[in-house]
Amino acid sequence: MDTTIEELLARRILTGRGDQTIEVEVYTADGFGKAAAPAGASKGKHEVAFLPEGGIDAALSAFERLVSPELAGVDAAEQYAVDGKLEEVDGTGRFERIGGAVAIAVSMAAARAAANTLGIPLFRHLGGAPARTLPLPLGNAIGGGKHSRGLGPDLQEFLVIPLNPPDIATAVLANLEVHKRALKYIVKADPHFTGGKNDEGAWTPRISAETALKILKESAAEVSKEIGVEIGLGVDAAASSLWNGSKYVYQNEGKERGPREQLEYMARLLDEFGLVYLEDPFHEDDFQSFAELTSRFKDRLIVGDDLYVTNAARIERGGREGATTAALIKPDQTGTLTRAHEAVKTARRYGMRIVVSHRSGDTEYDTLAHIAVAFGAEVIKTGIVGGERTAKLNELIRIGDYLGKWGRISSL
């Protein structure tokens, strides 16, 4: 089959949050693929530029002038060639000329076109024969921070993850049941709660971080007893959004914490609630505090998102300094699948676990499920409910069926 790219098209579409983003179609001589770029609300300052100066119109113009002519004739099955050409036509290192949205949409659409042309699943095309491990789903059950427009707890996400599920379908169900069960406890804690959810489908009550964790701990214990699956708790502090340059400002809580106070607060949450997962407990340039916390909790997933932004060089520094035990991988943060894979390989050299993640403004595409399996990720962070979230979860279930006895579920 001929995987040579013959034509590319781009358009603006909407994310689940209603923001505009880029969708790209790639046509090979014998196949077709398409993909769209997700968009985050809580962006790290070291990410690539999502759009060029001039916004989405400028991005579409750059696609027509620079990307489409140059990619025609490239072999879609050679991912490094596709992604290398994107870097070449942009020339800035941060995709400031064509926009990271264009870059990642083209990169993923070309991969999909190659897989479809070859008649194999996307995860198999990207990961080869070794790609047969299904990641544990990590889901946002109660939300706060920027994702909840400052109306919930100051910390951004309160998460659940099944630790020993027999299969991916049971793992998905476990998170869903905790999400459902949490509602009855939320209503008791916040009698005025009307069932509101944030961008990722998480409940958004006006409660404290500690109350949110107590609710999830009790809900998880109930579900765990009923279905026989241990369920762990996690937090995404998104601390960069709390940092004012000298202190962490907890507006709803009415407190300010200095760097040392923040470290001790994060340590207390890890201890008190037995968290298995803690993401971005400090601001995006504080490698030292990450390393100190990690040295005290080496058995937990201490995860860098804004700290790393899927950048191999920053992950290299984090690995040298012992900053984290895991790296969050969001391909759109770095612009191409090749760069994202380099970030994964760098993290692996330092013994880090891999958490492949969605964005708060995601799309209905199931591409992320395939990327997580292809990269051998231990965890996929992709929400619990909502169409753009369940699209990835449902695809994981399908991949599990496809792999059959040859597949296995990850463990921590």
Contact 60, 10 (CB under 8 A): yes
Q: Which residues are annotated as a binding site for Mg(2+)?
A: 236, 279, 305
pLDDT score at 351: 98
Domains of the chain: 5-119 (3.30.390.10), 127-409 (3.20.20.120)
How far apart are the C-alpha atoms of 28 and 73, rounded to whole Å? 9
Nearest to 126 by CA among 83, 79, 75: 79
pLDDT digits (tens, 9 = 90+) for 4-49: 999 999 999 999 999 999 999 999 999 999 999 999 876 778 999 9
Q: Which residues are annotated as a binding site?
A: 147, 156-157, 236, 279, 305, 330, 357-360, 381
Q: Kindly report the number of other CB atoms within 10 A of residue 290's CB atom.
A: 25
How far apart are the C-alpha atoms of 88 and 103, rounded to whole Å? 11
User: For residue 120, what are its two tokens?
Assistant: 């194999």
pLDDT score at 150: 67
pLDDT score at 310: 98
Q: Kindly report the number of other CB atoms within 10 A of residue 109's CB atom.
A: 28
With a cut of 70, list the residues of the chain below it in pLDDT. 42, 147, 150
pLDDT score at 45: 87
Can you name the residues that pair with 25 across neighbouring β-strands? 9, 34
How far apart are the C-alpha atoms of 318 and 227, rounded to whole Å? 38
pLDDT digits (tens, 9 = 90+) for 127-152: 999 999 999 999 999 999 876 776 78
Per-residue 3-state assignment (H helix, E strand, C coil) for the chain: CCCEEEEEEEEEEECCCCCEEEEEEEEECCCEEEEECCECCCCCCCCCCCCCCCHHHHHHHHHHHHHHHHHCCCECCCHHHHHHHHHHHHCCCCCCCCCHHHHHHHHHHHHHHHHHHHCCCHHHHHHCCCCCEECEEEEEEEECHHHHCCCCCCCCEEEEEECCCCCHHHHHHHHHHHHHHHHHHHHHHCCCCCCCECCCCCECCCCCHHHHHHHHHHHHHHHHHHHCCCEEEEEECCHHHCECCCCEEECCCCEEECHHHHHHHHHHHHHHHCCCEEECCCCCCCHHHHHHHHHHCCCCEEEECCCCCCCHHHHHHHHHHCCCCEEEECHHHHCCHHHHHHHHHHHHHCCCEEEEECCCECCCCCHHHHHHHHCCCCEEECCCCCHHHHHHHHHHHHHHHHHHHHCEECCC
Nearest to 336 by CA among 24, 86, 72, 68: 86
Catalytic residue ranges: 200, 330
Global pTM reads 0.97
User: For residue 412, what are its two tokens?
Assistant: 């921590």
Q: Which residues are annotated as a binding site for (2R)-2-phosphoglycerate?
A: 156, 330, 359-360, 381
pLDDT score at 373: 98
